[in-house]
Amino acid sequence: MKNKYIVKSILFLFIFLNAILIFSSTKAADLEIGGKFNTSITGYYSQDSEFAYIPQANLDWELFLPRWGNNEIRCAGNVYTNLEEGKIDFFWKKLYWKHRFDKFHLTVGRQPISWSFGSLLNPVDYSLGAEALDREYNAKYQDALELYYPINWHTSLSLTVSPMSNWEDFKIGIRGRTLVNDFDVAVHFIQEQIKNKGKGTQRFGITAKGDLGKYGVYGSLGYYHDEKKSYSFLLGVDYSYFFQTGSRLYLQAEYLTIPPEMLAQITGSIMNNAQYDIEKNIQLLVTNASYQIDEFSNIGMTVFYNACDNSTIFMPNYSNQIKDNINFKIQAGIINQSVVNTNPENNTIVSDNNRSGFIEIGFDYTF
């Protein structure tokens, strides 16, 4: 733990000194700050409990600093309401220094790391659960060192190193990306070295995305080696149709087979994985349909279906830009999930449906 704070202190001091050099050679007019303020209230309903609601507010901000030679400093954070502890809390999203050498780029510090490829869910990301359903989560932002080596305009290699729960446990990721017959193809290997496990765990993944006629197709294959060996497979397709009025219909569908322990991670905890057989993969179908009514408003529907227990989730949403910088949004969820219970009297298994739901109403202001 002591080494963790020493390394962080040295890193922060290094970034801070570079920031001073940039500030000292920059006019105040060259500095800009931007971001988004979000406020919402979410109501929850479940058969097992009464209706409850949670108010939330958070502020995303970023300070835009001009480059100093081949150096770049990025600062961004999130101020949010921590309801569990009853206080206002803060989370660094970006606090890194980047230097562009002649042959490669070096980035050190808190930075966003996500190996997304346009899917709704991603079972082969650098950190599982970094992004889901066009939302990003804290797992996306890592204290890391990244080396990026561009070979040509469509081929590159990258090396990422980041600590895990502490600085004795770490993760190393190597990724190669190129173009194969107009398909964007990426291959990566991740080693998670955990001290109390000795050898650690390995993850291997490959992703591909391209176009077949009017349709976009993409997929991924993942292999995981921990206490057991498991795999994941994803196949997706998307399609856009533009009307003469200027509106747009977008359709997207994915089929996934994943280890059950990954379900809550990659879906943003929307689906629970506590009741599944850990030896069998989960079969999941996810669809999304959105209709852009005009340049200000959009309506959509996301549906989850779990073939293992016939669980379904319907998530309709609507957003409307009511002023230049103010956006109104409403999202709901109707969850029908199977619950398996054991009857202690005759040792039988009883299956029942547990229905629950939520509705979220909010505004965001961009500046």
- Hey, what are 266's tokens? 């990659």
Contacts of 3 (CB under 8 A, 6+ apart): 167, 168
* pLDDT for residue 256: 96
pLDDT at position 199:
64
- DSSP letter assigned to residue 167: T
Which contiguous run of DSSP H or E holds residue 361? strand 348-366
Which uninterrupted H or E stretch holds 3? helix 2-24
- For residues 86 and 100, is the Cβ–Cβ distance under 8 A? no
**CATH code assigned at 168:** 2.40.160
Check residue 272 and give its pLDDT. Answer: 65
- Walk along the chain (367 residues) and give the pLDDT tens digit of each residue: 455 555 555 555 555 555 555 555 555 556 788 999 999 999 988 877 778 888 999 999 998 888 888 999 999 999 998 776 678 889 999 999 999 999 999 999 999 999 999 999 999 999 998 999 888 999 999 999 999 999 998 999 999 999 876 667 889 999 999 999 999 999 999 998 766 655 678 999 999 999 999 999 999 999 998 878 899 999 999 999 999 888 999 999 999 999 988 888 888 767 765 555 567 898 999 999 999 998 899 999 999 999 888 889 999 999 999 988 999 999 999 988 765 554 455 444 444 567 889 999 999 999 8
CA dist 111 and 195 (Å) reads 25
Evaluated on CA atoms 207, 302, 273, 53, the torsion sign reads positive
- Count of structural domains within the chain: 1
Structure-token match 């700050």, residue found: 33
By the 8 A CB rule, do 97 and 72 touch?
Answer: yes
Beta bridge partners of 188: 175, 205
pTM of the model: 0.82
DSSP letter string, 40-65: EEEEEEETTEEEEEEEEEEEEEEEE-
Contacts of 206 (CB under 8 A, 6+ apart): 124, 185, 186, 187, 188, 220, 221
- Sequence-distant (6+) residues with CB within 8 A of 344 are none
Q: How many CB atoms lie within 10 A of CB 212?
A: 10
How distant is the alpha carbon of residue 326 from its chain centre? 24
- Looking at residue 278, its amino acid is I
- Within 8 A by CB and 6+ apart from 21, the residues are 68, 71
Domain that includes residue 160, residue range: 2-366
- Taking alpha carbons only, the member of 315, 309, 345 closest to residue 329 is 315
SS3 of residue 266 by DSSP = helix
